[in-house]
Structure 1
């Protein structure tokens, strides 16, 4: 009887010893595998999404927004001064950092024009030398107007106006040759911006009059459909009238315009 009891106890002990460690090992492996998979998947997905948002979505929007804001002003200046709108916009983008540079933000100076006898407000900024004097304007439109006056009023730029009005490559090279910028790559930078953002289309719109749909309804009045980038200021300047005259004719209480809105412009 004692023999049988000892035999049974021995068998149960061997069985318990052989099963115990295997169960522990299986649990440990399962736990380690699950932990590793979770870390790998989460890290990879998060980093890819963040890189795409920063590199692809953000940068283009700033320059596109700049172009949409100032294209009409550049076109109006082209009609007045014969400077290609593509060149004006490209210089504005390059010189002002798409409107985000210090001179553009604090002085409304979009073209890096220095004082040179300027009697208006001034701002000092590090450029080729420390704390150089730059012109300061009350509004960005004044910077665009002064840019046109600056180029048309100096003899060293006279040869540029002998070029075809849509020869943006000739203008880019000519500006550098005439001393507008010291950077040897300045022409290539302008040309690259013009071709990347298709700024040459604004030259064609001015030359071909493709941007305006006009229907004359009576003497001295033009019916106009608002397009992207239009402002009361740009329309008033284009048609040689005033913002107040347009507002009065259309019973407008503010300067806000809607895309596709039809208004009348005194001519």
Structure 2
């Protein structure tokens, strides 16, 4: 009897242990499956993040001159819009293509995000040199702790960049190039030693072509050509009628001997009827010394 009871108890114990191991084993399997799913989800998230980062890189550029920076194309475009007028002004004043100035500004300053541009308004990485007696900052570039010029505002930096190029004989050959020859200017700057980067010229040309900076050169050159043409027309008019007097800002004209409404209208590019209306003229009769309104 006791043997039967003992046998039953042993069987129950074995079944209980087997059940427990099965339960534990099942639990472990279940936990392993959960960890695997979580890892899978994490890997998916990481994959999406990498895709996003790759997508962003397509809309960004690495700019490296005095600082190495990653900036977006929007930041570069904003910089160009902000300083294009300043670059064009300096082109008119000093003869340096606006496209070159802007490309150098973008590259050297990291589109205004670099250390020198933020701390010293130095957008072109111009070092102190022996003649500089203005404020300065220290920055590591080709060598540790180099001296760089500091300006009150970016416009001063743009002006000093122009003066820097026009006042040094090693850059003289650049000013023999056409103002719209941005490739020649970029290669000339590198050859003259403006930067030590062997790819400096290619970087400038790449920026100019990607962002159509040459259009700003054409705007300046187009306006200059128009002004030249106007001056030539005025000179020819004076030769044809040396006694004519051109009023200030073309607001009026004092009639001289030999003037007619037709000649006056041609001279100032205004219709005869407009001259008549402005001066309450009923016909074509005018007299010497008469002051005619032109606008």
TM-score range normalised by the length of the shorter chain:
0.5 to 0.7
Distance 1:27 1:133 in 2: 68
Q: Is the 8 A contact 2:138 2:148 kept in 1?
A: yes
Q: Does 1:122 align with 2:132?
A: no
Aligned mate of 1:105, from 115, 118, 133: 118
Q: Deviations over 1:116-147 (max 9, x none)?
A: 31232222333334433322110011000111
CA shift, 1:46, in A, is 4.0
Cα separation, partners in 2 of 1:101 and 1:22, compared to 1, 3 Å: closer
Match of residue 96 from structure 2: 83
Q: Return structure 1 stretches of 4+ with deviation > 4 angstroms.
A: 15-31
Aligned mate of 1:63, from 76, 93, 108: 76
The runs of 5 or more residues in structure 2 that have no matched partner are 1-7, 61-69, 224-247, 250-295
Coordinate RMSD, CA, aligned: 3.7
Match of residue 143 from structure 1: 157
Q: Is the 8 A contact 2:171 2:192 kept in 1?
A: yes
Q: Deviations over 1:166-185 (max 9, x none)?
A: 21110011112222223332
Match of residue 191 from structure 1: 205
Match of residue 37 from structure 1: 37
Match of residue 72 from structure 1: 85
CA shift, 1:23, in A, is 7.2
Q: Deviations over 1:34-68 (max 9, x none)?
A: 43123212332145326624853673143333223
> TM-score when scaled to structure 2?
0.57
Bigger drift between 134-143 and 31-40 goes to 31-40
Cα separation, partners in 2 of 1:30 and 1:114, compared to 1, 3 Å: closer
The runs of 5 or more residues in structure 1 that have no matched partner are 1-8, 210-218, 221-267
Bigger drift between 74-83 and 21-30 goes to 21-30
CA shift, 1:191, in A, is 1.6
**Matches of residues 11-22 of structure 1 in structure 2 within 5 Å?**
none
Question: How many equivalent pairs are there?
Answer: 209
Distance 1:37 1:182 in 2: 53
Cα separation, partners in 2 of 1:35 and 1:183, compared to 1, 3 Å: closer
Secondary structure in structure 2 of the residue aligned to 1:123: strand
Secondary structure in structure 2 of the residue aligned to 1:59: strand
Distance 2:49 2:81 in 1: 28
> TM-score when scaled to structure 1?
0.62
Q: Does 1:203 align with 2:221?
A: no
CA shift, 1:31, in A, is 4.8
Distance 1:36 1:145 in 2: 63
Whose RCO is larger (CA < 8 A, sep 6+)? Answer: 1
Secondary structure in structure 1 of the residue aligned to 2:71: helix
CA shift, 1:95, in A, is 1.7
Match of residue 265 from structure 1: none
Match of residue 168 from structure 2: 154
Distance 2:17 2:191 in 1: 92
CA shift, 1:154, in A, is 2.6
